[in-house]
Structure 1
Amino acid sequence: MPMLPVGDDWPAYGGTYEARRYSPLDQINRDNVSGLEKIWEFNTGDLPRDGDGSEGKYAAETTPLVIDGRMYLCSAMNQLIALDADTGREIWRYDPGVSTDAIPYSASCRGVAYYATPGERVEEACATRIIEGTLDARLIAVDAQTGLPCAGFGEQGQVNLLEGIGDSVPGFFSVTSPPTIVRGVVVIGHQVLDNQRRDAPSGVVRGYDAVTGELRWAWDLANPEITGLPPEGETYTRGTPNMWTIASGDDELGLVYLPLGNSAVDYYGADRRELSNEYATSLVALDVTTGRPAWHFQTVRYDVWDYDLGSQGTLVDLPAGSSTVPAIVLPSKQGDIYVLNRATGEPLFPVEDRPVPTGGVEPENLSPTQPFSTYHTLARPDLTERDMWGMSPLDQLWCRIQFRQSNYDGIYTPPSADRRWIQYPGYNGGSDWGGIAVDPVRGVIIANYNDMPNHNQLVERERIERLGVRPIDSAERSDPDAPDSMQPQEGVPWGIDVNAGWRVPFTGLMCKQPPYGGIRAIDLATGKTLWDRPFGTARSNGPFGIPSRLPFVIGTPNNAGGVMTAGGIMFIAATTDDLLKAIDVDTGETLWQAVLPAGGQATPITYAVDGRQYVAIMAGGHHFMETPIGDAVIAWSLPGAARP
């Protein structure tokens, strides 16, 4: 089935499976965007409930789809919902009954996929269908018109994704991202909860028939001989890198592009498999018909920093003289943006091997060099003691002492156990799962990014045991008094203690001076910066978790992406100030903003119904970003926008 175009519709998570997050709609533009008004608000009703184990774990992150005037979305706990995109009225709902014990790191469903069966009339059952992966590891297909399960898909509309996985427990193996459908094959990865144990469930990526749910292929990177289900009594290779984020796809080339994560566990790698080391933290292009690799490009060698690829690759036609080259633009957590020929994997801008620090607990295994992109990087210069900051002299003194006492030799400082080490950028980026947006007409990339360090330390196994820090599948639960920052990494000599964002214990603020996040426009053809500024205000941030309500732009942490339009606007929330903003693509100026009822850690969309353009977002909040949790889907439009 050829991919539906972006226009009135928003048919895939990234707009299309090219993942440009760009719309040709221009009814809303620079001149009139300040007049946007809220048209409707819909509440999913899916919120944490006291005593059900979900408190402090919600982060909906949902990007809806719109096809033919209907909006399709998933709630945090995988309820599928169809709305009238013009009014916000609920049309149908399907609740797969996911238990809260299946919540991994967070209750998140980033989105769903849409598929129309070629040759079938729309009125036929499941001629059009909505497909999602669930937190409890099911692949589900329902009729897009009625919400009823597609009886011919798997077993009564469901496929069990735990088949062939082996030992697991609820919350260890889950799906939080939407599948990608290329040439009728539903390509899906999954999340494996980080840093629990070396013998973790496999990172196998699989392709299923979009109509029948039949397994077409499996790619077990460490055992290429397994192309379907494992032989009886065996499992897919355990502990291998997984794809927890979103793939992109090229229907013409028949390739699907997988941003891979790291092997289990993140911060120690001495006994990783050779093929895991080869493919970890790589972009892998698979032949969607066979599931076999066509090429792969590794962004980090021997990754012990949790620099897994979180961003969806974006497919563009890169200008090259009088013609274009089929390219994929790949952002990374360490900040580098790579541009590759998407047919061959060859870099279209040089990638340089540069010396990096070695040492730590396994100096003999670390790579002495790492690949750095010469196209563009979002990374800032190395930190210095002068960058240490605080709301009070006491904060600043504490942070400067910590800086002097830490191991730090710039990016890729090795993990250490003798003292804490500074990881900059931290594991949240650079770029994370929100990715980038590309305007192919103007030739502009806009990337929002994080600018924060982590402050980490490997922890001796004996201390991990003494503190009662146990893996998720342990017969004994972790001690409730064990530090939340510690993870067991069972099966290797060290656990890990991660101070994400490098927080000060007194005020809860960060040691590094602001900004903590930015937004940047980049020339697609050359990689040159067009403008760059801090992103996010201080209105919801302050010491001791008390919002300051100050409107000053300081640059806050941000998660999620944005959408660009032909009207010269970038719509984006993402920051911790609970605002949806309209930003001028040419200048970076904020032209309009709306206060959201909860955190905007989701990527917005734009679409049209009967000639009227809308902008919509899920305001679901995010526990890790410390934004308010909610369940609202909201749409804005121009008052009295003309209809034909």
Structure 2
Amino acid sequence: MTHLIRLFGLMTLIWLPLSHAQTTAYDPTLEPATTVASTVAGAPEPADWTAYGRNNAATRYSPLDQIDRDNVSELKPVWGYRTGNLPDQSVVDKKWAPETTPLKVGDNLYLCDALNVLISLDASSGRERWRYDPKVSTDHIPYSATCRGVSYYEVPDVPDDTACKRRIIEGTLDAELVAVDADTGVPCADFGHAGHVDLMEGMGDSVPGYVAVTSPPTIVRGVAVVGHQVLDGQKEDAPSGVIRGYDAATGKLAWAWDMGRPGETGLPEGDDVYTRGTPNAWTIFSGDEALGLVYVPMGNSSVDYWSGNRREFEKPYSTALVALDVTNGTVRWVFQTVHNDVWDYDLGSQGSLIDFPVGDGRTVPAVVLPTKMGDIYVLDRRTGEPLTPVEERPVPASTLPDETLSPTQPFSVGMPSTPREQLTETDAWGVTPLDQLWCRIQFKRASYEGMYTPPSVDRPFLQWPSYNGGNDWGSAAVNTDRNILVLNYNHIAMYDQLIPRDEANERGMVPLGVPGGSTSSGGSVPQAGSPYAVSIEAWRNGFTGVPCSRPPFGGIMAIDLNTRKVLWNEPLGTARHNGPFGISSHLPVKVGTPNNGGPVITAGGLIFIAAATDNLIRAIDIDSGEVLWQDVLPAGGQATPMTYEANGRQYLVIVAGGHHFMETPPGDYVVAYSLPAKGDPTLPDFLKD
């Protein structure tokens, strides 16, 4: 996980168990829920969206084409829903970031809200069928209250009318796995303890907010594989980043991959715990049912910006894609994207599984992995071998006496990258000459040796691309019929500096669990147990808040996987919600803003995406990059939309919950769009012009 910095509302004006839970009963007056075949672990029915990325392959591609280039301009909101679960305003302002993408199975939508309330809606009308509240306390919120989605599973070889044959499974902020009946919302009695599994078992000492599950489990061959977020930058002796597989029917632990306990796949015994301080995986995994593999994008070791105390057994797995065998949790292969990462470049993107064209009509089963550095890797998903060229290139060495960095880093040279041109002093930018002067002075003060500039203690260092650069948890989408990859990206720089331990102590920089420690992500983190804390800030004018790097600050691009060429690359986002001093300009100028959330592609030739800080959802022509339609959302759209068909009609749905890091308006909205039809219900007030 990353500690994002609050530059996002400051763009330029010119460029403009049951005892603690609650279930709302299934409403028998509504029509019974339909079901789909239990093949959802593989390809969903064309009308459905059965996993976070539509399928475990994470293509985010729908074969629906009812909404197309010719009629998308007619798209209108047709129903809306509110979860009604916004907590105290102080929590919303500082912690709210739902990032949720619903599932659609049969005639049901399934989603979670930011505090893990599970909800089922009628897919045609948005009427609530049921809800289940696991009663997660706001004390357990880490950097943000986030539930990116839920998982759907059908238990094989049991009668269709068996309770919890069809189930919804989620991970929670208070580190539980929860399973409920997909038809009624009642917890599954045969799963763990009354529908709950405690993920803190074997983790050792911790406090609320340190360990949280923010992404849905990935279910392959009946095993629900789950990672978790461990609070960044706090201390070396952080809880473990262990990855675990649980029987999706019973909730029993099937295996645990703990890199510090090789060969031991069970729960630690006695006073033993899963190895502390190891890299964790907080984002979404993809899975191959045929190969029996789950692909885990790993984060960094527990202290991000210094590596001196890292253990040899953890180094190969930090900031690496790891393929695990779902039958026993063993490592099949590893591909590392950053060696000895001291830049917080953890892998946030979910890998997409495709048949990659290699010429002469031949394809190879592949995983496509975008990164925060801007690299896009294409790997044989059976072996981890690169299918496009990768080079090891020399990078700068650290001048710190207690730091040794890798002399080289991998670069994906066989695929395009997201923009990451070398910065120069003349790139320093601002609204006025004084802004530009301020930024040039900061550039001259900083250490900058290009990409992978080492962290420094005597002066600030520029990180470009930043840890929020490139592609993040929104991930990519792939039109698998045409072999077109689409991804959005951030294009901003950071201005960071290591802080000696004595100075950090004087400032009272202590980790969570110690008096004065907190989960706050702004400004600096203690990195207790290492010689240095670290200050993490955006490279921007300290007065106006305007970024010092040139716009666009975010964009979206399409790549032809057949030719490995960029089809188009466009700024994503307007200045309507941004401006100096945090004041909205209300100008529709296309500047490209920071963005979180990903794209969806349809067979109608369209890309649907929100993500930017202007609170708009868009339809983009996949061939040209032209925006064909857009609409204003009632809150920030920092979530990936999804599309489905119900009763012969195609819908586009997005959760508009806002995002405190991006400084977009908070909300609890689910908005559905479709082409107008007679009999559409009256819209709720929040969707009326």
Calculate the TM-score normalised by the size of structure 1. Answer: 0.97
Q: Deviations along 1:428-484, whole A, 9 cap, x unmatched?
A: 12010011000011110011000111110001111211111211111x12499x994
Between the aligned partners of 1:334 and 1:642, the Cα distance in structure 2 is 49
Alpha-carbon separation, structure 2, partners of 1:541 and 1:483: 22
Q: Which one of 343, 357, 360 corresponds to residue 396 of structure 2?
A: 357
Could you tell me which residue of structure 2 aligns to residue 128 of structure 1? Answer: 166
| Higher mean C-alpha displacement, 249-258 vs 41-50 | 41-50
Q: 1:505 aligns with which of 533, 542, 562?
A: 542
Is 1:96 paired with 2:134? Answer: yes
The partner residue of 1:86 within 109, 115, 124 is 124
Following TM superposition, by how much is the alpha carbon of 1:503 offset from its aligned partner in structure 2, in angstroms?
A: 2.8
- Code of the residue aligned with 1:334 in structure 2: it is M
| SS of aligned partner of 1:539 | helix
Q: d(CA) in 2 for partners of 1:502 and 1:259?
A: 28
Q: Look up the match of 2:524.
A: 486
Residues 423, 450 of structure 2: 8 Å contact kept? yes
Match of 1:38 in 2: 77
CA–CA separation in structure 2 for the residues paired with 1:503 and 1:410? 18
Distance 2:569 2:679 in 1: 35
Residue 377 of structure 1 aligns to a residue whose secondary structure is coil
Q: Which residue of 1 aligns with 2:59?
A: 20
Partners of 1:325 and 1:362 lie apart in 2 by 45
**Which of 483, 491, 494 is matched with 1:451 structurally?**
491
> How many angstroms does 1:642 deviate by?
12
SS of 2:577 mapped into structure 1: coil
Question: Is 2:308–2:402's contact at 8 Å kept on the other side of the alignment?
Answer: no
Structure-2 separation of matches of 1:430 and 1:126: 40
Q: How does 1:62-73 map to 2 (within 5 A)?
A: 62-73=100-111
- Of 336, 346, 350, 1:298 maps to 336
Cα deviation, 1:262-301, whole Å, max 9, x if unaligned, reads: 0010000111011211110000000100100000100000
Q: Cα gap change, 1:223/1:479 in structure 2, threshold over 3 Å: closer, same or farther?
A: closer
Aligned position for 1:277: 315
In 2, are the aligned partners of 1:75 and 1:109 still within 8 Å (CA)? Answer: yes
Task: Find the counterpart in structure 1 of residue 381 from structure 2.
Answer: 342
1:338-487 aligned at under 5 Å gives the runs 338-361=377-400, 365-374=404-413, 375-474=415-514, 476-478=515-517, 484-487=522-525
Q: Does 1:139 align with 2:172?
A: no
RMSD: 1.6
Unaligned runs of 5+ in 1: none
Any stretches of 5+ residues in structure 2 without a counterpart? 1-37, 681-689
Measured in 2, the distance between the counterparts of 1:79 and 1:421 equals 42
Q: Does 1:261 align with 2:318?
A: no
Letter in 2 for 1:427: Y
Aligned partner of 1:312 among 315, 325, 350? 350
Matched-pair contact (CA < 8 Å) for 1:611–1:642? no
**Does the 8 A contact of 1:318 with 1:524 survive in 2?**
yes
- Determine which of 672, 680, 687 is the counterpart of 1:635: 672
Cα distance in 2 between the residues matched to 1:558 and 1:298? 25
CA distance in 1: counterparts of 2:89 and 2:557, whole angstroms: 41
Query: How far apart in 2 are the matches of 1:592 and 1:471?
Result: 46
Greater CA deviation, 465-474 or 189-198?
465-474
Partner residue of 2:685?
none
C-alpha distance in structure 2 between counterparts of 1:43 and 1:546, whole Å: 28
- Does the aligned pair in 1 maintain the 2:102–2:149 contact within 8 Å? yes
Report Cα offsets for 1:492-550 as digits up to 9, x if no partner: 00001000x32321112211121101110001123210111111100000011110001
Task: Please give the per-residue CA displacement for 1:555-614, whole angstroms capped at 9, x wherever unaligned.
Answer: 100001010000000000000000000000000000000100111000000000011000
CA distance in 2, matches of 1:455, 1:581: 32
2:229 aligned with 1:191: yes
Could you list the structure 1 runs, at least 4 aligned residues long, displaced by more than 6 angstroms after superposition: none
Does the aligned pair in 2 maintain the 1:48–1:58 contact within 8 Å?
no
Distance 1:176 1:479 in 2: 19
The percent of aligned pairs where both chains have the same amino acid is 60
Counterpart code for 2:535:
D
> Do 1:270 and 1:362's aligned partners in 2 also have CA atoms closer than 8 Å?
no
User: Structure 1 residues 348 and 75, CA, compared in 2 at 3 Å: closer, same or farther?
Assistant: same
CA deviation vs aligned residue, 1:158-192 (integer Å, no higher than 9, x gap): 00000000011000000001110000000000000
Equivalent residue number for residue 223 of structure 1: 261
Name the SS of the counterpart of 1:28 in structure 2.
coil
Residue from 497, 522, 533 that aligns with 2:559: 522
Deviation at 1:232, TM superposition (A): 1.1
Distance across 1 between alignment mates of 2:45 and 2:420: 34
Q: Within the alignment, does 1:5 sit opposite 2:50 as a pair? A: no
CA distance in 2, matches of 1:221, 1:307: 20
Deviation of 1:119 (Å): 2.4
Q: Secondary structure at the match of 1:591?
A: strand
Return the letter of the residue paired with 2:375: D
Aligned mates of 1:54, 1:535 — CA distance in 2: 26
Distance between the aligned counterparts of 2:648 and 2:397, measured in 1?
Answer: 59
Query: d(CA) in 2 for partners of 1:395 and 1:120?
Result: 67
Deviations 1:7-65 (A, max 9, x none): 211000000000000000000000000000110010011213146x5541100100000
Greater length-normalized contact order (CA 8 Å, ≥ 6 residues apart)? 2
- 1:169 and 2:245 matched: no
In structure 2, what is the Cα distance between the partners aligned to 1:328 and 1:153?
A: 32
Worse-superposed segment, 548-557 or 457-466:
457-466
Tell me by how many angstroms 1:322 deviates.
Answer: 2.5
Task: Give secondary structure in 2 for the equivalent of 1:187.
Answer: strand
Q: What letter matches 1:43 in structure 2?
A: R
Aligned residues: 639
Tell me if structure 1 keeps the 8 A contact 2:143–2:521: no
What's the CA shift string for 1:70-119, capped at 9, x where partnerless? 00000000000000010010000000000000000000000000001112
